[in-house]
Amino acid sequence: MSQDKERDSIRAAMDRLLVGTPLRSDGALTVVSLAVEADVKRHVLTHRHTDLKDEFYAKVRARGNVPESERKLREELRKTKERLAEATEEIKRLQGEVDMFARVVNVLEVENDQLRNGQGRRRAAVVPLPTAPEPSR
């Protein structure tokens, strides 16, 4: 098919999709449906006739319709941003815990060092714990 015929076919398909009377496609306002409707391969629109693809999406947006693929991507982006915010909060919480544990380890190291170097060499008497009386039977 010559490029002029492709362009004419794409423009006719664009018009059919925009008015809601598709002949070959599912009628979705997407590049894939436009390619099916125009009976051309998708890469023809995305690589050879990018101006027509852009024109199609501009007309779709001008009508207030957002293509389903774009809606799905926006929803996925929204969910990803939410997960990122949750992960960021979790990281902050865990960093706080790491800092607290680091302080505890430092205190324990100082105490351990003091005990090993004799600064805490008071001999404590070992006192056995009292035994509990055995329950009567």
Query: pLDDT tens for residues 59-82?
Result: 888 887 666 777 788 899 999 999
Predicted local confidence at residue 124, as pLDDT: 61
Residues of the chain with pLDDT under 70: 65-67, 119-126, 137
Predicted local confidence at residue 132, as pLDDT: 75
Separation of first and last alpha carbons in the chain: 102
Structure tokens at 87: 């992960």
pTM higher than the cut 0.85? no
Nearest Cα to 68, choosing from 80, 60, 59?
60
Task: Please tell me the total number of residues recorded for the chain in this structure.
Answer: 137
Predicted local confidence at residue 20, as pLDDT: 85
Nearest Cα to 45, choosing from 3, 74, 106?
3
What is residue 11's three-state secondary structure?
A: helix
Predicted local confidence at residue 137, as pLDDT: 61
